[in-house]
Structure 1
Amino acid sequence: MDAKLPPAVNADDACQQSAFIARIRAQEERRLQAQAEGLPALRRLLPIARRDTGQSRVIAHFLLSLYNGNRFKMDLTDLRGLDQELFEDCLAVLRMDNTPQREVHCYFENGGAIWEKMASDWNVTDYRLQRIELQELKGAAR
């Protein structure tokens, strides 16, 4: 009985595999760095979003859009009104959320309730509810 040997790996395949592994490692290092910078930034931003200032409103909208972008839309030009430190914290959270380990609200106990209260407190338009209401109006008009 002849045992089949695996095909020989040529040098080009080995180089491509090595480059692929290096890219994966670099990507994981960036993800870990984003997590290390983003989580403290998120913890700084949440209390600010719960205050009653113009910057707080922007941060609340930002966090809500990360929580559920289909429901809570944000005009990104609003970020221009933030102090530089708050803007940088928003970018750090956005980088972390680019490859999320978990949803932003899940870093906090009762995070879903906190984010929903934030939406209510700031009277942020819930576009999902708006679409449902519009569909109901269209259906009632028929």
Structure 2
Amino acid sequence: MPFTFDDTAQLLGIGRNVMTKKLREMRVLDSTNKPQGRYSGKGYFVVANSSWNHPTKGKMPYQKTLVTDSGLQLLEYLLIKKPEEEKMQREAPITCGTRNITPYQAINALLELANKSCGSSEIAAAVLLSTYNIYEYKLDLGGLCLLDFNYYLSALVVIDLRCRMNTEPHSLIENGGAIFQQLATDWSHLHNNNTH
């Protein structure tokens, strides 16, 4: 039997309003809390017709979104497990040489360097942009030789994150999309205009 949003939120251990807000932000639900896009018509939700009694107009019809068993599993993954996985990935240190560096630390170190006005700033920006969008930005490996050791290790961690874990760096920091869009604007000359 499908679950109401109240029941679903209680089973997941989060507030109903918080749950629906996050699902709208993720584009799972539209502004009227109906499933949308790839989440519509997949058996995750049921939109049921119902009605309520208006004091003067009588029965008023409305549609109510309910969550199926598979939808509950999906929402548990999207709202609970996926954020935990991303947190672990962001905070799990990677051993590089004799140091342990988390991807979060590495990304922020390179962002800080990219926003400075020094000779290594362009290399830091190139590492970040090429791991952000491998099709539109290319990294000159020779540039890595110009980084000091700590930034070099951070670059290796970010490259490893992208190549081995298939994770784009912007996904691990708050407001990552906007930050990396600004980085792309600031370093627009690094864009590869010969992409296919």
Pick from 98, 101, 106 the counterpart of residue 37 of structure 1: 101
Q: 1:109 is matched with which residue?
A: 174
Q: How far did 1:43 drift?
A: 2.2
Q: Deviations over 1:93-134 (max 9, x none)?
A: 22233333742101122212211211211233433xx348xx
TM-score for both structures, normalised by structure 2: 0.45
Q: Distance in 2 between the 1:44 and 1:64 partners?
A: 14
The total of aligned residue pairs comes to 100
One-letter identity of the residue aligned with 2:170: H
CA RMSD of the aligned region, Å?
2.5
Q: Name the structure with the higher helix share.
A: 1
Is structure 2 residue 185 aligned with structure 1 residue 123? no
Q: Distance in 2 between the 1:101 and 1:72 partners?
A: 16
One-letter identity of the residue aligned with 2:115: R
Q: Could you tell me whether the CA contact under 8 Å between 2:106 and 2:155 is conserved in 1?
A: yes
Q: Distance in 2 between the 1:84 and 1:131 partners?
A: 32
Is structure 2 residue 152 aligned with structure 1 residue 92? no
Structure possessing the higher relative contact order (Cα contacts under 8 Å, 6 or more residues apart): 1
SS of structure 2 residue aligned to 1:124: helix
Q: 1:53 is matched with which residue?
A: 118
Q: 1:124 to 1:112 in 2, by over 3 A?
A: farther
Q: Distance in 1 between the 2:140 and 2:166 partners?
A: 25
Q: 1:101 to 1:77 in 2, by over 3 A?
A: closer
% same residue: 31
Q: 2:148 is matched with which residue?
A: 83
Pick from 130, 136, 141 the counterpart of residue 65 of structure 1: 130
Q: Which runs of 5+ in 1 are unaligned?
A: 1-31, 136-142
Q: Name the structure with the higher strand share.
A: 2
TM-score for both structures, normalised by structure 1: 0.60
Q: Deviations over 1:43-98 (max 9, x none)?
A: 22211112221111110011000000111112110111111111111112222333
Q: Could you tell me whether the CA contact under 8 Å between 1:38 and 1:96 is conserved in 2?
A: no
Q: 1:23 is matched with which residue?
A: none
